[in-house]
Structure 1
Amino acid sequence: MMSSTQIRMTNDFTQYVKILGRGKKGARSLTAEEAEHAMNLMLSGQVAPEQSGAFWMLIRIREETVEETVGFTKAARDYLSKKEPLKAKVDLDWPAYAGKRNELPWFLLAAIALANTGVNIVMHGHTFDGENRIYVEYVIQQLGLAVCHSRTQLKQELIDRHFAYIPLADIDASLGSMMDLKYVLGLRSPVNTVVRMMNPFSAAHSVHGVFHRGYDQLHLSACEQLGDESVLVFRGGNGEAEVNPERDVALGKWQNNVASWSDWPKAEKEHKRLKDNLDLSRLTDHWCGNQLDQFGEQAVRQTIASVAGLLYGVTSHEDCLVLVDDIWSKRDRAYFDHIL
């Protein structure tokens, strides 16, 4: 039986479940302020598991609004700002939560190539066991790179390599538990949007990969309301921030208080994806120059181009590709030698 204090705490949250679940005529979406308060209650442990599950699924049915996304993200950022500071400058925040289904995570090579030029990049993600996906954390482990479990370790990796990966649960256990509700509910929740938006270490730039149509516009609109500094968002390969070279891509950018969209044509006219060959040696061989991967070459090249355009304020696709050639030529080809 719950104590009177616990009942009062959960009753504070009940109002939001009621707002969302009153039926077709009575239900409405939350304001940004309501969403922020609701998220604060969840992050502070004042919500029963049944309540949070109902809350997220009621929103999941109709999908989150811009105002709700803004409120959730504000609460998450404020909550994370009270944690131990990283004490290191982060140039680029790179959420990686989707996993790849039918190709390798070529975006990892794109991130490391940028890091090799001195760009401080923090990548963060979450792994769901039992899903037919390749999560970047698994690949990072297999390639012998560090998985950071503390802010101290994260800072040191940035000093040593300019690239660091940290799991969501090590950023915050509560957010990790919210993501793991998928095991119980069977569906993704709007938490997937929050962790892409939250920029936990206050990087100057952020790149968001999304999967579902319309989420790119939602992210960009939320970034505008949040007053973010510099964000790139696009529908990437399997929902990761990776340009699929076999499809046209629309890049949304929020920078200098201006929203803009660029349409890049597909770089590969033929189908070169190797969904039946997910050997990680394809990544290392391509990186070292031992073997040119036809799909990987363009996936990496176009992804670097999109992010470099954000970092250096370049808008032309052609000019971004010029940047790529310089960035790729400066990569440390011996980066993965320890595993060969």
Structure 2
Amino acid sequence: MTGRATMRTVIRTANDFTQYVKILGRGKKGARSLTVEEAEHAMSLMLSGNIAPEQSGAFWMLIRIREETVEETVGFTKATRDYLSKKEVLGIKVDLDWPAYAGKRNELPWFLLAALALANTGVRIVMHGHTFEGENRMYVEHVISQLGLPVCHSRGQLKQELEANCFAYMPLIAIDKSLGNMMDLKYVLGLRSPVNTVVRMMNPFFSDHSVHGVFHRGYDQLHLSACEQLGDASVLVFRGGNGEAEVNPERDVTLGKWQNDVATWSEWPKAEKEHKRLKNNLDLSRLTDHWRGEQLDQFGEQAVRQTIASVAGLLYGVTSHEECLVLADDIWTRRDKTYFDSVL
């Protein structure tokens, strides 16, 4: 395609996209939310790379003001999944999709140990996330790197890690540059956008199961309703520690599950009656010492146990909290305590 033809395509795409900015921004009486079809088309146009940054920023912030609807979430996710389906085939089955985009503020990412323990039993897990530099958050990618675990930057490396260890982490920018750039609009706009919901929902490697951690009240219901419309097979969503898929043992948790075409909600009481978090001690040796069994971390013990239990319940179709805890204890007992010895 010639440069002039490319420019015509960009202009035409930008003009097509303008209609959606107008729909969202016509004022209190004129504005409305997007239908599934409109949201899907708008997202496909943005993923084409032919939308001006100003258009994309305006679009996301207009939705951010009132928060995305279920229909918009479904449309954005459908477009993203269709777009990702055209990429190179991974060539290996993934059991569990684990988005990790929030970052921890006042504790360590204990959910990483939960994921590794599950992987030790043969569950193939892909964790993916994004890092915002300069924020007072501990992102799992930094922790993974500091612990000496690999960060995968290609599908070939991802497949290799899954085959070797049943666990692999990939940054969003390596999954797709366009999606990574959409997330990085936060640096310019100063606010997170609904892209944060999309990357949790997208399931980029089409895993059999997904676990979504959310922060804001009501987003668990939004995710589950969207999963129903999307026809997803097996999804767990809950308001987790700082928005990650980690059960905070110091709070009651409501687990939402979409499985076998049925939505269910379960209330789990808090596992810790007293505050045991050590927000002033974010030394990563707490993670490795606890994994090795060298020192029992009072907060970490229950954060890992309850998180494993919640995800194991999804994977194995168990609903009882007590039965999930039995599963979690068995999974934790079977972990390879020498796992970090070879990487540190």
TM-score (norm 1): 0.99
Which residue matches 2:17? 13
SS of 2:133's partner is coil
1:254 Cα deviation after fit: 0.0
SS of 1:270's partner is coil
Structure 1: distance between partners of 2:8 and 2:204: 35
Q: How many residues align?
A: 340
Which residue matches 1:243? 247
1:3 Cα deviation after fit: 5.0
Q: 1:182 aligns with which of 186, 189, 197?
A: 186
SS of 1:109's partner is helix
Which residue matches 2:164? 160
Q: Could you report, residue by residue, the CA deviation over 1:81-139 in whole angstroms, capped at 9, with x for unpaired residues? A: 00000000100000000000000000000000000000000000000000000000000
Runs of 4+ in 1 over 3 A off after TM superposition: 2-6
Matched, 1:314 2:318: yes
Which residue matches 2:153? 149
Matched, 1:88 2:99: no
TM-score (norm 2): 0.98
Change in Cα spacing, 1:327 to 1:3, as seen in structure 2 (3 Å) is: closer
The 5 A counterparts of 1:122-137 are 122-137=126-141
Change in Cα spacing, 1:53 to 1:254, as seen in structure 2 (3 Å) is: same
Task: Give the unaligned 5+ runs of structure 1.
Answer: none
Q: 2:209 aligns with which of 205, 208, 222?
A: 205
Matched, 1:62 2:66: yes
User: Structure 2 counterpart of 1:163, which letter?
Assistant: F
SS of 1:250's partner is strand
User: Structure 2 counterpart of 1:63, which letter?
Assistant: E
Which residue matches 1:285? 289
Matched, 1:258 2:258: no
1:8 Cα deviation after fit: 2.2
Q: Could you report, residue by residue, the CA deviation over 1:171-206 in whole angstroms, capped at 9, with x for unpaired residues? A: 000000000000000000000000000000000000
1:45 Cα deviation after fit: 1.3
Q: 1:47 aligns with which of 45, 51, 54?
A: 51
Matched, 1:102 2:100: no
Task: Give the unaligned 5+ runs of structure 2.
Answer: 1-5
User: Structure 2 counterpart of 1:270, which letter?
Assistant: E
Structure 2: distance between partners of 1:110 and 1:220: 23
SS of 1:314's partner is coil
8 Å contact kept, 2:149–2:343: no
SS of 1:300's partner is helix
User: Structure 1 counterpart of 2:167, which letter?
Assistant: F
8 Å contact kept, 2:129–2:172: yes
Which residue matches 1:326? 330
User: Structure 1 counterpart of 2:192, which letter?
Assistant: R
